[in-house]
Amino acid sequence: MHRRTKDLKVLSFTPIVEDPTLPQIPSLHIAIVISGYLFDESEVIDAWQDTAQHALHGTDVFHLTFEPQELVALGNAFKVFLATEAVRVVSTQVIQQTVFAALASALVLPFGLMRAGDLIDNPWVVAMDRARKTGYVLADILQERVQGNRPTTLIGYSTGAVVIWECLLELAKRKEHGLVNSVVLLGAPIKTDMTEKWQAVTSVVSHRFVNGYSKKDVVLGSIFRLHALGLEVAGLQPVLVDGCSKIENVDLSDIVGGHLEYRENLNMVISLLGVL
């Protein structure tokens, strides 16, 4: 595992517990939750604290922290990006329509939006790179059964979903089935048109595979549109792939009005999905 962690400065697991002073008795199940952006390094597990409370008696919940400095840089870049005039205009259109209607119809994007995209490019590329590398390490950890032979649920938002995606791809390559019980991807920056890869990742998940998306996610839509990657993104729409009937697509647009609202509304989203 050391070979894979050489490019990562920080990677750690933090238990989310009701009372850290009490001895912890291992539960039969384990959940690993992963943040995809932060606004301050001190708030690493804050967003998940309430979310995990109702699961603590039946499931051990751990937060997988990776590269918090880079995730804070990304979170702050998101805020600056959303504050630009060009993005505010698109956001206003999205309130009336969807990201698809606001962005997909334009053959040439407004110059202001393209300039705004420059603000987010580097933090996004760095965070995505670290997320992929963390996914490889998570696959090692699960394969080595560091947490024992307990059914594992993986939940992540934004680039945290990319960690899970890369982990599942790696487990599929190794033909490691039965390690992951359920998966929840929220606002996932992952293309939906990669049929073989979607078939691979779902093949190593034993139970539920949830894709939570919002049609109002201006950040995700803008990033993919600006990079000419299209809008076929799991965080914006259902994943409809042959041979992947296991995928549960859940439209969270009424709860999540934008990419930053996944973190704000984690408790409501997780309760709605009933995955913990």
* Confidence band for 220, pLDDT divided at 50, 70 and 90: confident
Rounded Cα distance, 106 and 83, in Å: 21
Question: Per-residue confidence at 55, pLDDT binned at 50, 70, 90?
Answer: low
Per mean pLDDT, which range of 79-83, 114-118, 135-139, 154-158 is the poorest?
A: 114-118
Q: What angle do CA 133, 120, 185 make, to 5 degrees?
A: 50
- Spatial strand order of the sheet with 152-157 comes to 11-15, 59-66, 29-34, 152-157, 180-186, 209-213, 247-251
Contact 58, 30 (CB under 8 A): no
CA geometry: angle 159, 81, 72, nearest 5 deg: 45
Enumerate domains of the chain plus CATH numbers: 2-273 (3.40.50)
Reported as a single tens digit per residue, the pLDDT across 104-135 is: 444 344 444 445 455 567 899 899 999 999 99
Is the model's pLDDT at 253 over the cut of 60? yes
Report which of 143, 149, 195 is spatially closest to residue 173, judged by C-alpha positions: 143
What average pLDDT does this structure show over 15-37?
Answer: 79
pTM (2 d.p.): 0.88
What is residue 266's three-state secondary structure?
helix
